[in-house]
């Protein structure tokens, strides 16, 4: 067993102070971290338990209409809250499409954002991995690459980010509240995760000692509730990470798209916001021609990182399907298999 120090923080200042020590990491539910520790992938010198910090599990509607989701809010509590699901249906659908019910009962909002790649070369300590051991190489290059990145990858790393939750949050312009030794700050979730470049070991913009205290959905995020969906293609219908996923939010006016939001998951080392596709959709009728043009724009820079060229066409088709289903309207009830790209179109829409 690798020895480590365990510290239970009782207040935020104490947690930050403990977290600045070399080799310290923050522990919440541990649904990802503890697995990595057991496999020898993560070897922290100190675990700073933040589960007792007051106020970090609260979900609050703020005075400006934004929604503040505490870092320790449980995934299942969010997804099963009727008011939350009605206001942010794509986020609820994404949460319910991920992991298992047992894991969702334990996993936290900030932990979901902080989870690390499921690249098998990263989790296998016998393989070379620049993310795990900088400068060691990337055995995924030339290896089994079916589920690896098609956007934003580099020669140093071709892994993908595994979160479902993050994809609609990025589409809805969510912010990340951060506390650290220098005080507090907010960062757009879209900018929170780093692309690999030459330093894939730097996964986020967090500095030593910093931790997430909340995620914030801006006031206008709920205005997309009537046309908001999350679709996910995976190797099996439950408890599997996305091969490709798509979150879409539309605002329709007079039979045309007044505003579009589009993000993809499973394609890069961060949730991928397709802003060019969004601009292309604005002002157009919600028809197949517009959807196909948007899909082409969203995948314009895609390149296979190995034997995964199929993911580019799969992502295009899923964008088209997600846009069509979103334009049809958010269903009154979530599908029996949330996020499924193969569920029948709803007969009624929530407006």
Instruction: Tell me whether residue 347 is exposed, middle or buried, using C-beta atoms within 10 angstroms of its C-beta: 0 to 12, 13 to 18, 19 or more.
Output: exposed
Tens-digit pLDDT profile for residues 240-252? 999 999 999 999 9
Please give the torsion angle defined by the CA atoms of residues 303, 173, 200 and 23, in that order, rounded to the nearest 10 degrees. -160
Tens-digit pLDDT profile for residues 162-174? 999 999 999 999 9
Q: What is the mean pLDDT of residues 45-51?
A: 98
Residue for token pair 């071709």: 158
Nearby residues of 236 by Cβ (< 8 Å), 6 or more positions away: none
Residue for token pair 């969906």: 229
Whole-angstrom Cα distance, residue 97 to residue 112? 13
Q: What is the mean pLDDT of residues 285-298?
A: 98
Q: Kindly provide the b/e burial profile for residues 311-320, where b requires at least 16 CB atoms within 10 angstroms of the residue's own CB.
A: bbebbbebbb
For 312, the enclosing helix (H) or strand (E) is helix 310-328
The helix/strand/coil state of 157 is: strand
Q: Domain map of the chain by residue range?
A: 5-52, 55-351
- Looking at the chain, the whole-number percentage of residues with pLDDT higher than 70 is 98
Fold exhibited by the domain 5-52: 3.30.43
Tokens of 284: 């157009």
Q: What is the DSSP letter of 129?
A: B
Instruction: Tell me whether residue 194 is exposed, middle or buried, using C-beta atoms within 10 angstroms of its C-beta: 0 to 12, 13 to 18, 19 or more.
Output: middle
Domain 55-351 has CATH 3.40.50.300: no
C-alpha count within 13 angstroms, C-beta hemisphere, residue 200: 29
User: C-alpha distances in angstroms, 168 versus 36, 219, 264, 288?
Assistant: 26, 15, 9, 22
C-alpha count within 13 angstroms, C-beta hemisphere, residue 161: 30
Tens-digit pLDDT profile for residues 207-266? 999 999 999 999 999 999 999 999 999 999 888 999 999 999 999 999 999 999 999 999
Tens-digit pLDDT profile for residues 75-110? 999 999 999 999 999 999 999 999 999 999 999 999
Whole-angstrom Cα distance, residue 143 to residue 183? 43
Q: What pLDDT was estimated at residue 345?
A: 66
Q: What pLDDT was estimated at residue 351?
A: 35
* Inter-residue contact 60 to 81 (CB < 8 Å): no
Q: What pLDDT was estimated at residue 346?
A: 57
188 pLDDT higher than 60: yes
Whole-angstrom Cα distance, residue 261 to residue 280? 11
Whole-angstrom Cα distance, residue 35 to residue 257? 44
* Inter-residue contact 169 to 91 (CB < 8 Å): yes
Tokens of 244: 């490709």
Q: What is the mean pLDDT of residues 26-31?
A: 97
Tens-digit pLDDT profile for residues 297-348? 999 999 999 999 999 999 999 999 999 999 999 998 888 889 998 887 654 4
350 pLDDT higher than 50: no
Tens-digit pLDDT profile for residues 266-278? 999 999 999 999 9
Q: What pLDDT was estimated at residue 347?
A: 43
């Amino acid at each position: 067993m690798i020895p480590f120090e365990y510290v239970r923080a009782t207040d935020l200042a104490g947690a930050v102070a403990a977290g600045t020590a070399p080799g310290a990491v923050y522990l919440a539910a541990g649904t990802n971290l503890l697995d990595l520790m057991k496999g020898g992938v993560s070897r922290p010198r100190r675990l700073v338990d933040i589960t007792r910090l007051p106020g970090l599990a609260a979900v609050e509607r703020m005075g400006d209409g934004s929604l503040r989701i505490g870092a320790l809010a449980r995934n299942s509590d969010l997804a099963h809250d009727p008011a939350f699901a009605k206001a942010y249906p794509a986020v609820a659908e994404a949460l319910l499409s991920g992991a298992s019910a047992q894991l969702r009962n334990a996993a936290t909002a900030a932990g979901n954002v902080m989870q690390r790649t499921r690249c098998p070369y990263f989790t296998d300590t016998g393989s070379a991995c620049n993310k795990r051991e900088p400068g060691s190489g990337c055995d995924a290059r030339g290896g089994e690459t079916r589920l690896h990145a098609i956007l934003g990858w580099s020669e140093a790393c071709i892994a993908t980010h595994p979160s479902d939750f993050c994809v609609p949050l990025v589409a809805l312009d969510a912010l990340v509240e951060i506390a650290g030794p220098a005080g507090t700050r907010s960062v757009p979730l879209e900018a929170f995760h780093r692309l690999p470049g030459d330093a894939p070991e730097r996964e986020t913009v967090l500095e030593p000692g910093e931790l997430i205290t909340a995620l914030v959905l801006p006031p206008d995020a709920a205005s997309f509730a009537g046309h908001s969906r999350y679709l996910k293609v995976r190797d099996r219908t439950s408890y599997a990470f996305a091969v490709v996923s798509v979150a879409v939010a539309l605002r329709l006016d007079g039979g045309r798209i007044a505003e579009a939001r589009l993000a993809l998951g499973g394609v890069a080392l961060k949730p991928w916001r397709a802003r060019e596709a969004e601009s292309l959709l604005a002002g157009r009728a919600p028809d197949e021609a517009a959807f196909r043009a948007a899909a082409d724009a969203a995948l314009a820079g895609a390149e296979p990182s190995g034997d995964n060229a199929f993911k580019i066409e799969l992502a295009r088709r899923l964008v088209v399907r997600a846009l069509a289903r979103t334009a049809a309207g958010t269903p009154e009830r979530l599908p029996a298999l949330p996020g499924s790209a193969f569920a029948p179109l709803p007969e009624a829409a929530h407006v």
